[in-house]
Structure 1
Amino acid sequence: MRTATTIVLLFVLLIAIALIASGIGPYPIAPLTVLDVLTHRLFGTSADATLSTILFNIRLPRVIAAGFVGAALAAAGAAYQSLFRNPLVSPDILGVSTGAGLGAVIGILLGLPVLIIQLFGFAGGMVTVMIVVALARTLRGSGDVLVLVLAGIVVGALAGAAISLVKVLADPYDQLPAITFWLLGSLAGVKANDVAATVPVVLIGLAPLILLRWRIGVLSLGDDEARALGVNVERIRVIVIAAATLVTASVVAISGVIGWVGLMIPHMARILTGPRFDRLLLASIPLGAAFMIAVDTLARAGARIEIPLGVLTAAIGGPLFVWLLARSRKRLVP
Structure 2
Amino acid sequence: MVYLSYRNLLIAFITLTMMLILISLAIGHYSISISQVINILFIYLNQNTNQIPILDQQVIWQVRIPRILLAFLSGAGLALCGVVLQGVFYNPLVDPHVIGVNSGAAFGGTLAIILNFSTFGLIVLAFLFGLLTLILIFSFIHSIKQNSLLMLVLIGLILSGFFSALVSLMQYLADTEEKLPNIVFWLLGSFATATWNKLILLAIPIILASYLLTTLSWRINILSLGDNEAKNLGISTPFSRWLILLLCTLIISIQVAVSGCIGWIGLIIPHAARLIVGANHQRLLPITFWLGGCFMIIVDDIARLISSAEVPIGIITALLGAPCFVLLLRQQILKKS
Q: 2 CA distance for matches of 1:155 and 1:267?
A: 26
Q: 1:284 aligns with which of 281, 285, 288?
A: 288
Distance 1:34 1:136 in 2: 53
RMSD of equivalent CA atoms: 1.7
Question: In the alignment, residue 161 of structure 1 is paired with which amino acid?
Answer: A
Q: Which stretch of the first structure deviates more once superposed, 112-121 or 96-105? A: 112-121
In the alignment, structure 1 residue 265 sits paired with structure 2 residue 269: yes
> Per-residue displacement from partner, 1:31-57 (whole Å, max 9, x unpaired)?
34323322335x697743433221110
TM-score using structure 2 length: 0.93
The residue aligned with 1:75 is 80
Alignment of 1:41-190 (within 5 A): 41=44, 47=49, 48=52, 49-141=54-146, 144-190=148-194
Does 1:245 pair with 2:249? Answer: yes
Deviation for aligned residue 1:29 = 2.0
Structure 2 equivalent of residue 16 of structure 1: 19
Matched residue type, 2:205? V
Residue 91 of structure 1 and its aligned partner are, at CA, apart by 1.0
**CA gap 1:124/1:332 in 2 versus in 1, 3 angstroms:** farther
Measure, in 1, the Cα distance between the counterparts of 2:209 and 2:97: 16
CA-to-partner distance for each residue in 1:196-221, whole Å, 9 max, x for gaps?
Answer: 12211111211210111112212111
The TM-score with structure 1 as length reference comes to 0.94
Using the alignment, how far apart are the partners of 2:11 and 2:107 within structure 1?
38
Letter in 1 for 2:120: L
Q: Partner of 1:210 in structure 2?
A: 214
On the 8 A contact 2:77/2:289 being kept in 1, the answer is yes
Contact 1:94/1:149, CA 8 A, preserved across alignment: yes
1:326 & 1:262 partners in 2: Cα distance?
19
> What residue is the counterpart of 1:274 in the other structure?
278
Aligned residue in 1 for 2:30: 27
**Structure 1 residues 16 and 136: alpha-carbon distance in aligned structure 2, compared to 1, 3 A threshold:** same
1:10 Cα deviation from its structure 2 partner: 1.2
Show structure 2 runs of 5+ residues with no match: none
How far apart in 2 are the matches of 1:146 and 1:159?
20
Asked if 2 retains the 8 angstrom alpha-carbon contact of 1:183 and 1:256, the reply is yes
Query: Per-residue deviation at 1:122?
Result: 1.3
Code of the residue aligned with 2:32 in structure 1: it is I
Partner amino acid, structure 1, of 2:102:
S
Q: Which amino acid aligns with 1:269?
A: A
Amino acid of the structure 2 residue aligned with 1:168? Y
1:326 aligns with 2:330: yes
Which piece of structure 1 moves more, 26-35 or 190-199? 26-35
Q: Report the residue type matching 1:181 in the other structure.
A: F
For 1:241 and 1:18, locate their aligned partners in 2 and report how far apart those are by CA, in whole Å: 30
Query: Aligned partner of 1:33: which letter?
Result: Q
SS at match of 1:328: helix
Compared with structure 1, are the counterparts of its residues 227 and 110 closer, same or farther at alpha carbon in structure 2 (3 Å cutoff)?
same
Aligned length: 331
2:308 partner letter: R
Deviates more, 1:59-68 or 1:16-25: 16-25
Between stretches 309-318 and 107-116, larger displacement belongs to 107-116
The answer to which of 229-238 and 207-216 deviates more is: 229-238
Residue deviations 1:95-124, cap 9 Å, x none?
Answer: 111111100110111111122112111111
Residue aligning to 2:8? 5
* CA displacement at 1:140 relative to structure 2: 3.9
Tell me the distance in 1 between the aligned counterparts of 2:315 and 2:135. 29
Partner of 2:42: helix, strand, or coil?
Answer: helix
- The answer to whether the aligner puts 1:39 opposite 2:42 as a matched pair is yes
AA aligned to 2:99 is: L
Gap change, CA 1:46 and 1:251, over 3 Å in 2: farther
Instruction: Write the distance in 2 (CA, Å) between the matches of 1:129 and 1:231.
Output: 22
For residues 281 and 32 of structure 1, do their structure 2 counterparts lie closer, same or farther at Cα, with a shift above 3 Å needed?
Answer: farther
Q: Aligned equivalents of 1:156 and 1:208: distance in 2?
A: 26
Distance of aligned partners of 1:33 and 1:213 in 2 relative to their CA distance in 1, 3 Å threshold: farther
User: CA distance change for structure 1 residues 293 and 45 in 2, over 3 Å: closer, same or farther?
Assistant: farther
Secondary structure at the aligned position of 1:236 is classed as helix
